[in-house]
Amino acid sequence: MITTAVEDGSDYVINGAKMWITNGSLADMAVVWAKLDGTIRGFIIEKDRAGFEAKEVPYKLSLRASDTSELIFSDCRIPKENLLPKSDGLKSPLMCLSQARYGIAWGALGAAMACFHEALEYSKERIQFDRPIAGYQLTQRKLADVATEITLAQLMALQLGRLKDAGKIDFKHISMAKRNNVRKSLEIARETRTILGANGISGEYQSMRHMCNLESVDTYEGTYDIHTLIIGHALTGVEAYT
């Protein structure tokens, strides 16, 4: 983390930048994590503060309906009461990440289910060689594989929710679910697109849109590879992040 906060009288002065911030150009305020005397702390920064600029990220090919911005802080001065009092160290932002990743483990399945149901209905209606393509073995194999993977991912998410309700959830469990469910949903979007054939690249259908968006979801809130290393560390007790 390279964004810093420096105490200056009754204020803090923030310098640095944050990339890929959802709703960064629309929000009236931002919660920003920065290093204060070497410790990560949270700060509330209103958008009308001098030295605070939000620039929208242009030319995205994924999550195009989402406002995504870069936040830039150039000697941005805020009063000391804007410090989040209970933020202290890396555990504070990581708590937020765990909540977001938990939701993603569920949310990605919605995209997968939308792709599956669309492909299933399409396969029953698309006639080729005098019968619907649902009547061909390769199509049925694809549908069976997709339905199985969705069910397995749903069971993992359900167990994750049960652990959360019981207060027994651990960030390692969340990493496994985020890693698996997003990657499987991305693969499902690609597979169901093949059932739609050439129509799959049309904006009239969902699979290509979900596929492009899931490429971003596979990257944000911890990439597939980073969650792989988190799980590997939990299993072996040996860090391999570097």
d(CA 101, CA 172): 11
Question: Quick check: is 221 catalytic?
Answer: yes
> Catalytic pick from 118, 149, 191, 221?
221
Task: Return the HEC string of the chain.
Answer: CCCEEEEECCEEEEEEEEEEEECCCCCCEEEEEEEECCEEEEEEEECCCCCEEEEECCCCCCCCCCCEEEEEEEEEEEEHHHECCCCCCCHHHHHHHHHHHHHHHHHHHHHHHHHHHHHHHHHHHCEECCEEHHHCHHHHHHHHHHHHHHHHHHHHHHHHHHHHHCCCCCHHHHHHHHHHHHHHHHHHHHHHHHHHHHHHHCCCCCHHHHHHHHHHHCCCCCCHHHHHHHHHHHHHCCCCCC
CB 43 within 8 A of CB 34: yes
Q: Which residues are catalytic?
A: 221
